[in-house]
Chain A
Amino acid sequence: MTTQTLAEQKLANIIVDALNLEDIKPEDIAPEEQLFGDGLGLDSIDALEIALAISQKYDVQMRAEEENTREAFTSLRNLCEFIKNNE
């Protein structure tokens, strides 16, 4: 399993905290694992919670109409990259 970068660790903590994922440890989220569907199994309610947490912690707005937001939500790594590029 690829290790998380520092930025990914921070984001993983925010996600686990925002979603109250008590049976998942932040360090267990593989950076390239699918967040939704078959991977971590998150859903649209989670997407909304994550979007709110990200807007509060990083001041970055998630916008589904944009192709790169959809891409961002595919994995922890892409989401982290998206925030870096939009901060």
Chain B
Amino acid sequence: MSSHDSPLICRAAKDPIAHINTKLAPLGELNGTISAQQFLCHVRQLAKQLPTQHYAINLCDNRYLFMVALCAVIVRQQTNLLAPNAHCATQEKLNQRYKNSYVLHDGGIKTADNIPQFDLSNILLTNHSSDFDIPLVSLDHLAVISFTSGSTGNSKSNHKTWHTLVTSTAINQRYMLPNADQTFYQLATVPGQHMWGLETSVLLALRANVCSSDTRPLYPYDVYQQLAALPSPRMLVSTPVHLRALVDKNTEQSKLDIILCATAPLNQALACDVERLFSTELREIYGCSEIGSMAIKKTAQEENWQRFAGISFKHNEKSLISASAEHITHSVELNDQIELLDQTHFKLTGRSSDTINIAGKRGSLYEINNLLLDFPGLLDGVVFLPPQKQRVPRLAAIVVLNNEASRQQLVNYLRQYLDSAFIPRPLIEVEALPREKNGKLPQSQLLTFFESLRKNPSSLVN
């Protein structure tokens, strides 16, 4: 191994790397614990069969198949494109941007007609070979390009070299896992394609003492069933939305060794409930797609964040914080207002007004408004986040359409480009927006107008 390479996995041959709880066509009858040696065997077989294009739009839904696909792509010295969603419009946009790309999936999705595709559900991965040669990956290799979740397709891409992923995973291991040699059996309610899921459920399994369940349950009942199916010690990787639903059921649960939560702020009361319900420790993680995880907080007990060693924060000229790290090429301006307390601790004091976070998906109001304004039948319109009591807030829109366009056409148009979390509702059609003479629409005026429309439901157009 040269100093320019790092192994694809840092596990011993017999180490459990994944736990299969689903019947997967490519694996035949194989289920339960998969060893690192079996995993590598699957990776090698898939790598040999992949098309020759340079970029793989990796849309595999099952976490194990996603892991195998991700690694096979890397072994073939190709780059994984981790799309924010599986929409055909997203596939097409990526294919236009990365000319030499194909869609890599495990069946059950609609693929764009004009893009080459490779369907994992049509092949069989066996594990007859008993050798355990771990492939070496060049540290400079561009392993992954991720895109900001909920983006409108033109968002900034985040380039992750193997060096970036290897270094950040070593840092994450130190802060996210209990200090023990045992293998932690991990269930994650988030997909592997998103940075939070990639860092925890995929990269930790490749390079630390984690064995990752292939499932991604949504309903509390299923989460409990899937946790029960895993050996101890067990850990859960989740989000505030999923944790809230688990606590709502509030039936006593068996012990979990650790819970990690990220993607949106978690309140302290919920953190306390979760710790009590699972007799566990909950670690909340702060991060962004560009850098990944950056800080940790034991939210049930603490109010201040502890920045990871290896990540630096600096005030920039706009009084915002720029985050940087040796393993990331560019520094990143964070969207949150941060108050630095000492060398390692900080407080989050707010969020820049353009950034919205809906169920852990971050988007830009500016981008979404631009998308709205591009709708051909739109005369005037605005998308905004009104104050609301719902657990998961939703955007609202007020629009003026011309005679040829319908509200339904506008909704269909937005659905082509936006993650469903960002589809405004209500989407209200009106005769005119209450703009001032100079064309401005102050937020307070907008909200008063919105309230008046809600109090008078007959004005809501369906």
Q: Name A residues whose Cβ lies closer than 8 Å to a Cβ of B.
A: 20-25, 28, 38, 41-45, 47-49, 51-52, 55, 61-65, 69
Contact = CB atoms under 8 A, between A and B. Distances in A.
Contacts of B205: none
B462 A28 contact: yes
Nearest to A42: B420
Given A23-B426, A23-B427, A55-B249, A63 B222 contact: yes
B385 to A, nearest CB: 14
Given A25-B462, A41-B423, A45-B392, 11 more contacts: A22-B425, A23-B427, A28-B462, A42-B420, A44-B420, A47-B219, A48-B245, A52-B248, A62-B219, A63-B225, A64-B222
A61 B224 CA distance: 12
Contacts of B454: 22
B366 interface: no
A43 B421 contact: yes
A18 B247 CA distance: 17
B437 interface: no
A59 to B, nearest CB: 11
The DSSP consensus for interface residues of chain A is loop
Q: Which interface class (under 10, 10 to 19, 20 to 34, 35 or more) fits B?
A: 20 to 34
B449 interface: no
Contacts of A38: 412
A78 B420 CA distance: 23
A10 B191 CA distance: 34
A64 B420 contact: no
B229 to A, nearest CB: 10
A69 B217 CA distance: 13
A32 B294 CA distance: 47
A63 B423 contact: no
Contacts, number: 70
B222 A48 contact: no
A68 B168 CA distance: 41
Contacts of A52: 220, 245, 248
Closest 6 CB pairs of A and B: A23-B426, A43-B420, A61-B221, A45-B359, A51-B219, A62-B219
Contact of A64 (B219, B421, B423): B219
Nearest to B420: A43
Contacts of A62: 219, 221
A64 B221 CA distance: 9
A44 to B, nearest CB: 6
Contacts of B309: none
Contacts of A48: 218-219, 241-242, 245
Contacts of B462: 23-25, 28
B218 A23 contact: no
A23 B220 contact: no
Given A22-B454, A23-B428, A41 B221 contact: no
A61 B219 contact: yes
B390 interface: yes
A65 B248 contact: no
A38 B87 CA distance: 13
Nearest to B429: A23
